[in-house]
Structure 1
Amino acid sequence: MVNAVIIGAGPAGLTAAITCAENGLDVVVIDEYMIAGGRLLGQLYEESNGSWWNGIEESTKLYKKAVNLGVKFHLNTAVNNIEQSNGRWTVYTEKQIFYTNHLLLATGAAESPLPVPGWTLPGVMSVGAAQVMTNVQRVKPGERGVIIGVNVLSAAIAMELQLAGVEIACLTLPKMNRITKGAGKPREVLDSLLHVSHMAPSRFIRFGSKFMKNDLMKKLGVHLYPKKGVKMWGIPIQLRKAVIEIYGENEVEGVTLATINAEGEVIYGSEEHIQVDFVCIAGGLYPLAELAAVAGCPFYLVEELGGYIPLHNERMESPLEGMYVAGNITGIEGAKVAASQGETAGLSIAHRSGIKGLDAKIKDSIKMTEQIRNRAYIQFHPQIERGRKKILQQWEAYQSSKRKPS
């Protein structure tokens, strides 16, 4: 029996573990990966002040700090079930069973695949896999590739791949269908790109994006968007072309591109072939919340947060007694927001464990999360604040319904 079990060793889980341990709790952290850090491991980018955010260095610092505080890690260990009985949580793994009164789910996010003809060929991977190969394992995914799917994640990783000496022929759209939906519509993609225009090395692009705030200018921008694309970091961002096929005999040899109109419809007869040796598919991220579902936590679909979100409050508490959530399981945001949420969750766990004098710290931690969110360099969803308000409204409605006499 331990004071707290944390599932997930990413920025949220690591920070929560440190916070719990600093308040005198014994903590166990479980993660299926062999190294602590989660998605933090693959991140490498230059911030607005010119400094570099190195995810490997940050995760190493957090891990060492947690170990020095006595946190016990069980890495390379998958959780296959959790259940609650008599106010106690039981966590089942293939190696061991853990018991606790306080369980934090910090399981992060997973990538959404975009089906493209030929995507089963060797050399086709998710954009996150290419990031891990390059930044963590120091192995190039290939010499020259194409990224299918233009979004915040793919734009950031394209820059990272180029820094590692990998040539990106272009970022382009998938062919529009019932599954790809908005990812294949130039106007919707352009709207999302406006939220990362500050990352562009070109002053012209950064300045020009300021004029694209109203619907008329966005519509005009899509119609006038160059068919050869606009370059960012020397990489063509093509919103008027889509990959209709990945081809090759036993491995990726190239992709077939076609011009699309402003509505995303393919203009047949415009096909062209581009030779590449790998392809990345970027369909975005969604909260990895299966364990919360297994536990019976209520869920709500909040598109502004990236999908189905387990119900929780600002203190990162779920409606289930003794269960907490933090990080991308609560909505897709950056590592710094996840870490701040982890601190709040850790303080809430310590408070619920009987540690006195933490109310002010919890309030300060919640405010700090808001500040970090507001100045985030990258925002994966443009209406994140609206999404946060929605989930808090659902929390209030849920609590009100429980208070009503039956």
Structure 2
Amino acid sequence: MSEILIIGAGPAGLSGAIACAQHGLKVTIIDEFIKPGGRLLGQLHQEPSGEWWNGMKEAEKLINETKTLPIDIRCGVSVYNIERHDADWYVYTNEGVFESPYVLIATGAAEYAIPVPGWTLPGVMSIGASQVMTNVHRVQVGKKGIIIGANVLAFAILNELQMAGINIERVVLPAESPISKKESNPEEVLKILTEAGHLAPSALLRNGSKLMKIDSLRRMALKYFPKGGMKINGTPLQLKKAAIEIVGNEKVEGVKLATIDSQGNIISGTEKLYEADFVCIAGGLYPLAELAAVAGCPFKYIPQLGGHVPIHSKNMETPIPGMFVAGNITGIESGKIAMAQGTVAGLAIAMASQSNAKIDEQLQQALQKVEEVRTKSPIQFIPEIAEGRLAMERVWEKESNRGELERVIF
């Protein structure tokens, strides 16, 4: 039996484990992947300072630190159920049952899948899969590719693929469907790009991002958007093109595109086939929170956090005794913020198990660190993330007040 059990060996889980173990607590981390590091392993981007953020090196630092502490990392372990009996959590896995009074769920995020006719062909993958194959496994995903979906995640990974010498011919939108929603609407996509001005695909959009938030100016810019697209380090972003079918016999051979209007409606007779030997679909990210749901944790749908998220406090605790959450399960943000949140969760658990003034002081400093990192973060997947965090604080306050009332009544 561990004093602390952490599900997820990514940036949040590793940081949480270190914070707990530094206060003498024995920690076990379980993860279904073959090695620890999570999404950090595939991340690579340039900071505003010009320095490079290398996720693999950051993961290595965290892993090396765990080796000096009472932390047991077990990979290749898949969780299929989690229950609470009396004062302990029981986590059921393919390697048996793990028992602990405290559990930290740091399962991260998953990608939205946007169905496109032909998407089951070999050579079609999510944009995140292309990142892992390129940066983690060092496998070239193809020689001529097309990205379907224009969002912050797509552009961040596009840059990584380009640095690896992989040719991306173009970035286009998915055709309109009940699932694609805003991702198929050029006006909505341009709005997202201009709100994320630091990652906008050209100097024009970066410098004019504030002006482009004005609806009339944005519509004008879309009206005169180049037919051939706007170059992103040599790869054209084509906001007026939508993928209507991925074509091939036994594997990807091309993508059939059609011209669309500013609302995403296909213009009949404009269909054309473009060659490609691989396709990346970028639908965005959502919190991977099923385990918290299985455990009975209440949820709240907050679009500014990426969807349904477990109700939690700033200290990363949930309304369920002994259960904490951290990282992208609480809202879609960068690896740096996941690490900062993991530290908060770890200190909050340490505080719950052995309350003292020193831990409380460290916890307050860790909370400040989260805000500092969030403010300086070069990658913001959701522009309204700060609004989402405030919304969750209000939800937590209501949940806490309700809990106090129930204790009084019963």
State TM-score, norm by structure 2. 0.97
Amino acid at match of 1:169: E
Shift of 1:208: 3.0
**Equivalents in 2 of 1:362, 1:150: separation in Å?**
38
Aligned identity (percent) is 50
Q: Which residue of 2 aligns with 1:402?
A: 403
* Structure 1, 64-73 or 276-285: larger mean CA deviation: 64-73
**Where in structure 2 are the equivalents of 1:292-307 lying within 5 Å?**
292-307=292-307
Distance, in Å, in 2 between the alignment partners of 1:199 and 1:185 is 19
Counterparts of 1:227-238 in structure 2, within 5 Å, are 227-238=227-238
Q: What one-letter code is carried by the residue in structure 2 that aligns with 1:387?
A: G
1:301–1:309 Cα contact (<8 Å) kept = yes
Whole-Å separation in 2 of the counterparts to 1:218 and 1:204: 12
Q: Tell whether the 8 Å contact from 1:80 to 1:92 is kept in structure 2 after alignment.
A: yes
The residue that corresponds to 1:126 in the other structure is 126
Could you tell me how far 1:363 is from its partner in structure 2?
1.3
Matches within 5 A, 1:268-283: 268-283=268-283
d(CA) in 1 for partners of 2:109, 2:179: 19
How far did residue 195 of structure 1 move? 3.6
- Name the residue aligned to 1:159: 159
Gaps of 5+ in 2: none
Give the TM-score taking structure 1 as reference length. 0.98
Q: Which residue of 1 aligns with 2:76?
A: 76
Shift of 1:276: 0.6
User: Equivalent residues in 2 for 1:7-26 (5 A)?
Assistant: 7-26=7-26
Q: Residue by residue, what CA displacement relative to the aligned partner does 1:144-183 show, whole Å, maximum 9, x if unpaired?
A: 1000000000011011001001001111100011111110
Please tell me the residue identity of whatever aligns with 1:367.
Q
Distance 2:397 2:226 in 1: 48
What code does the residue aligned with 2:17 have?
Answer: A
Q: What is the SS of the residue equivalent to 1:291?
A: helix
Count of residues in correspondence between the two structures: 406
The answer to whether the Cα contact below 8 Å between 1:227 and 1:259 also exists between their aligned partners in 2 is: no
Query: Where does residue 362 of structure 1 map in the other structure?
Result: 363
1:158 is matched by which residue type in structure 2? L
Which region of structure 1 is more displaced relative to structure 2, 114-123 or 207-216? 207-216
Q: Quick check: 2:16–2:345 contact (8 Å CA) kept in 1?
A: yes
How far apart, CA to CA, are the structure 2 residues paired with 1:197 and 1:372?
18
CA distance in 2 between partners of 1:194 and 1:6 (Å): 38
* Equivalent-residue separation in structure 2 for 1:65 and 1:360 (angstroms): 22
2:211 matches 1:211: yes
Is 2:257 the counterpart of 1:254? no
Query: Could you tell me how far apart the structure 1 residues matched to 2:392 and 2:208 are?
Result: 34
CA pair 282-238 structure 1, distance change in 2 beyond 3 A: same
1: CA distance between counterparts of 2:404 and 2:312? 17
Aligned structure 1 segments of 4 or more residues deviating by more than 4 angstroms: none
Which of 283-292 and 350-359 deviates more? 350-359
- The equivalent residue for 2:289 is 289
How far the C-alpha of 1:82 sits from its partner, in A, is 0.8
8 Å Cα contact 1:200-1:233 kept in structure 2: no
Q: Once superposed, what is the RMSD of the aligned Cα atoms?
A: 1.2
* Structure 2 match to 1:30: 30
Unmatched segments (≥5 aa) in structure 1: none
Deviation at 1:202, TM superposition (A): 4.8
Contact 2:194 2:205 in 1 (8 A): no
Q: 1:304 to 1:29 in 2, by over 3 A?
A: same
Match of 1:4 in 2: 4
**Residue in 1 aligned with 2:375?**
374
Q: What SS does the aligned partner of 2:294 have? A: helix
